[in-house]
Structure 1
Amino acid sequence: MQSEQNNHAENSDVAQAVNQRSRDISEVPAVELINTVAVHLMSAAAVKTGLADDPQAEELKDLDEARKLITALAGLITAAAPEVGSTHAAPLRDGLRSLQLAFREESTVPDAPGKGPGEKWTGPVN
């Protein structure tokens, strides 16, 4: 009986926390959410591309994972650009292009033009 009461109390606490987060996120403008997600993808892709400012950067490098992250980032930026406007999209595009170029430099097997990560959405990056 005591165990059931503890489980019910824990479930109630979790439900309250989820409701609070939902209320908090509902107050954030879409542009800010899109930028935040893009920056997180960009940061993760930079680490996986080997650009981390860390003595272990080489150990953290994983180009297969970086490719996935850069492609997702390119899709998000391309799809969101008309919605967020050029003021917000331009720096994201610049960061994306830098990641695409860094990926190309780090890759031991070069992708054909237009076949690199995210280039389906952005076009070839040189």
Structure 2
Amino acid sequence: MDLAFIEQEPEEPNITELTPIQAFYKDAHILITGGTGFLGKLLIEKLLRSCNELSKIYLLVRSKKRKDMPIRLKRQYPNFKQKIRGIAGDCTQPNLGLASEDRKLLQDNVSL
């Protein structure tokens, strides 16, 4: 009986291999509208937790009455400042209510 296999060290699983979803979002710059709503929060949390290679999420955030956009983002996503960038806008306005410099930023960077 050949017992050579017992002396061999077991192969470590390749944990650096990306799943198909992780590979899809690798280095992606994503624009999300509705990111401060219930489903948006779930989507963003899942993307940040599951897709470490994701580069940046741009959130189109509408200012609410007396609530500044950066304050709302900081409250809802306190630990992900490096991956999330809030962009002031409004989907009901022409050109999403974006300032020209924000529109240019999104045009130049967003891939999804």
| TM-score, with structure 1 as normaliser | 0.23
Higher strand content, 1 or 2: 2
Higher helix content, 1 or 2: 1
